[in-house]
Amino acid sequence: MSDNKRNLRRPMFAFVAAVLLNSLAGSMAVYPKLLSDVLADRGFVRVSRSACLCQAFVVFSLGGSSFMLLSAMAFDRYLSICRPLRYAALVSPAAVAALLLLCWLLPAGLVGGAVLLASHLPLCRSRLSRIYCDVYSFVSLSCGGGAALLSELYGLLCSSVVVFLPVAFVLFSYGKILSVCLRRSRAFSSKALHTCLPHLLVFFSYSVSTAFELLQRQVQGGSEPAASVLVMVVPTVMNPVIYGLKMKEIFRHVRRLLSCQRAA
């Protein structure tokens, strides 16, 4: 296999493609329905219980997998910078495929359990002051009781596994990378930090939008519709701009690959 093909198949590009695919899939789960409702110019929108839960499953599972993918990217950068001699052995194609499956299947399984618990709750209210459906707001429409409390506790467990633990792992990994860079030469540190910069910016955009969403729920009880779409808009808009920093490198490899194929 040529160097160009190997470069394009590096784990970094696989994880970047997975994060951008998540953003695209999440947008397709929210924006088409949102645009149709806006064009219909209705004061309220009726959705079925099953459609609401399906949308909540897609949005939450993809959001959780995005955080897990960011932690996998941080692990990849940590091994590349701090353990370069073992990088090729540890980050094999099979390991990358296993990480990608874990980042998608684990959140899907956990969020699927939360949606299943919420689907059995009796609802006492029917108006959801959100632009899209989510499990937390759906549970808030229920009559309360032990089942609703169990659903909330399980949702907290899911958030800890697919959001808070990956965030802590990313912070730990980049902390270790920073400590290594401080002990190396300026040229090494500059190259390492330039490699990590897009990942840090994407992580920052996801973390800030998610933190704002959680804070808005606690302060206003999730009653502000405009704020509910922030967690979808910010990463979707910012990710292509941020990874545009890498487009020169991608275009260079693609151009070399195409020139080799024409020569052959």
Cβ atoms of 181 and 192 within 8 Å: the answer is yes
Q: Which of 229, 224, 241, 223 is nearest to 29 (CA)?
A: 229
9 has pLDDT over 70: no
In the block, tokens 């990608």 appear at 100
The helix (H) or strand (E) run that includes residue 205 is: helix 186-220
- The average pLDDT across 133-156 equals 83
pLDDT band at 6 (very low <50, low <70, confident <90, very high): very low
pLDDT more than 90, % of the chain: 16
The tens digit of pLDDT for each residue in 209-225 reads: 888 777 776 665 554 55
pLDDT for the residue 102: 94
pLDDT for the residue 126: 72
Pick the CATH number of 3-256 from 1.20.1070.10, 3.40.50.10420, 3.40.50.1820, 3.40.1550.10: 1.20.1070.10
The tens digit of pLDDT for each residue in 160-173 reads: 898 889 999 999 99
Domain ranges of the chain: 3-256
pLDDT more than 70, % of the chain: 78
pLDDT for the residue 7: 45
How far apart are alpha carbons 189 and 169 in whole angstroms? 21
